Chains A and B, each alone.
Chain A
Amino acid sequence: MNDAAPRPDGSSRGRRLLARVHALGAGAVAVGETPSVRVTNSWWHVELPLPTAEQWARVGSSIPVILAAAAAVYVGVNKPDVPMLDLAGAITLLVVSFAAATWQLIWVRQSSENDAPATGLRAGKAFKTFRSFAFALPFPLLIAGVIWTELVRDTGEVDVTGRTHISPKVVQNGDTLTVTLEGQPNRHRLRLTLRAADAPGDWSGSQFCVPETQLGVALLGGNGKAQAERVDSGEHVDLRLGGSTKVRAQITVHTDLGCHMEVSVLKAVLHD
């Protein structure tokens, strides 16, 4: 038995869909002439209303908001471990994208071609062009925001202070100590800020040597050119890592005779 055999009334013997869409003028929907889909078979039939172009437009206008929100959530969850300032541009793009998407959603819902005045942007082709622009605008913004975030993840500053080790801590004039960075550096430079303080306990009760103390910093090993730079306590030195897989820096203490100093890493930041 062929279910697809046509019947005299135009319907199949089994299920057969018939769609009768009433073409209506410029967004106007006449009462009783709503576009619909008729589903019918031998035993029953039902006529479902079909969304109008206006209704499709309203649903479609939600898409940029949903995508912008999704992008913001993605960036928030997968935020790179970098200073917030590095991400400021990406965050701005995502915020603008979300704001633009929200605005166009509200604007589309509040306006319709029915009640639009026949003048200005809302009239005719210019109105449709502007609406298309408002719909499309959030997409490049949110794409740029996500790409920016990924670029920062690959090239931005990484605070690795917690990954540094220094020994020994209490030193005198001419002593050397070593700063080691745990793990591989994934950037080309290391900005190292060291702090020299009077050694704790009895020493800090009998001396005050910080102002005359300087620290000479030189990178050990690796392919990078060895650098030796003298800095005061609290000043940073920028070391070119030159592709080293293991970062070790030698610190030489220059202070007054008899001073006992404690040297620590105040901040260590990898960057390109």
Chain B
Amino acid sequence: MRHRPGPFSLAATAMILALTIALIIVSCGGDEADETKERLTVATQKNLPGIAWVPPNSYKRSGFDHQLSQRIGEELGAKVNPLDIPIGDRVTVLTESDADLAIAAFSITADRMKKIDFAGPYITTYQGFLTGKQSPNIRSAHDLKGRRICAWADTTNLTPLRGLDVEVVQKEDATDCITAVTKNEVDAFSTDQLLLYGFADRYASKGLKVVPKLTVGAPQHYGIGLPKKDRARCKLIRDYLKRYVNGTEWITDIQANLPKVVQTLPDWQNHLKPTNAAIDARSCRDAPNP
């Protein structure tokens, strides 16, 4: 027996149909509003917990760099389009115009400044050491003698290690070094302390810890990379960063993303916060002064 639709069910169907059409229109309208926004391609990382992190089998991004890129997008009135890149491609994506910005734990150096512009720094850190449960007791530079140290290839971390009496094991990815430490294949992992605190927090269950007060090399000043042609945008971001680091958002972003830093690094604000003079001296320049 066939069921004949009554007048009530017809009305309900019509209402559902109208609601669906209205929703489609509204959602399309929203897309149009988004389309009017400039899209900002931001080169970033996805394997640095606390800095730029995408959990396995997930698309949800988090981290200090991610939060900063969202803030920069809002400041410029643009929609951020993240672009995950290998660590060694950060300069190339900018010089070849594949990205508008690079916010990817990107240290400002004299050599890089010749090829691209930087706005920043927005945070400063030193290179430190991360050890595992089974690692030997490393407390000072003397304890590093003859040790196997894992380092991230294509980063500024390799140079300071060359001056030490250590065996450097290079890995293409930071997570490879974490694996090597947890499996006791190396004695320690050396990269920027800020990143190490993120790893220590993420892999706390594996007993990873940052060696306190042991650093090598010069301070690493993280900046936002831009192509040389975007000097006007560079200056806008520079001015925003000066407001950002001197305001509360910089503090709350670190507290939210890098809790281990706040817990274990004494006087962390003075250690990590750049001055306005440091930002002016490094931002939107072709070469260091003079």
Contacts and interface: CB of A to CB of B under 8 A. Distances in A.
B277 A260 contact: no
Interface residues of A, number: 22
A234 B162 CA distance: 30
A111 interface: no
Contact of A210 (B112, B159, B216, B281): B281
B281 A258 contact: no
Contact of B159 (A195, A203, A211, A234): A203
Contacts of A197: 110, 288
A195 B219 contact: no
Given A206-B160, A207-B156, A211-B281, A258 B217 contact: yes
B160 A256 contact: no
B215 A206 contact: no
Of A205, A206, A208, A266, most buried by chain B (CB within 10 Å of CB) is A208
B278 to A, nearest CB: 6
Contacts of B290: 195, 233-234, 266
Contacts of B288: 197-198, 208, 210-211
- Bin the interface of chain B by size: 20 to 34
Nearest to B109: A208
B113 interface: yes
Given A233-B289, A234-B289, A208 B282 contact: yes
Contact of B278 (A205, A212, A260): A212
Contacts of B111: 204-205
B241 interface: no
A211 B157 CA distance: 21
Nearest to A203: B159
B109 A207 contact: yes
A253 interface: no
A257 interface: yes
Given A256-B218, A258-B216, A208 B110 contact: yes
A211 B289 contact: yes
Contacts of A205: 109-112, 156, 159
B113 A258 contact: no
B108 A206 contact: no
A9 interface: no
B90 interface: no
A206 B156 contact: yes
B289 A258 contact: no
B244 interface: no
B240 interface: no
B221 interface: yes
Interface of B: 107-113, 126, 156-160, 162, 215-219, 221, 277-278, 281-282, 288-290
Given A205-B109, A211-B281, 14 more contacts: A197-B288, A204-B110, A205-B159, A206-B109, A206-B158, A206-B160, A206-B218, A207-B218, A207-B219, A208-B288, A209-B219, A210-B110, A210-B289, A234-B289
Interface of A: 195, 197-198, 202-212, 233-234, 256-260, 266
4 interchain residue pairs of minimum CB distance:
A234-B290, A211-B281, A207-B218, A206-B156
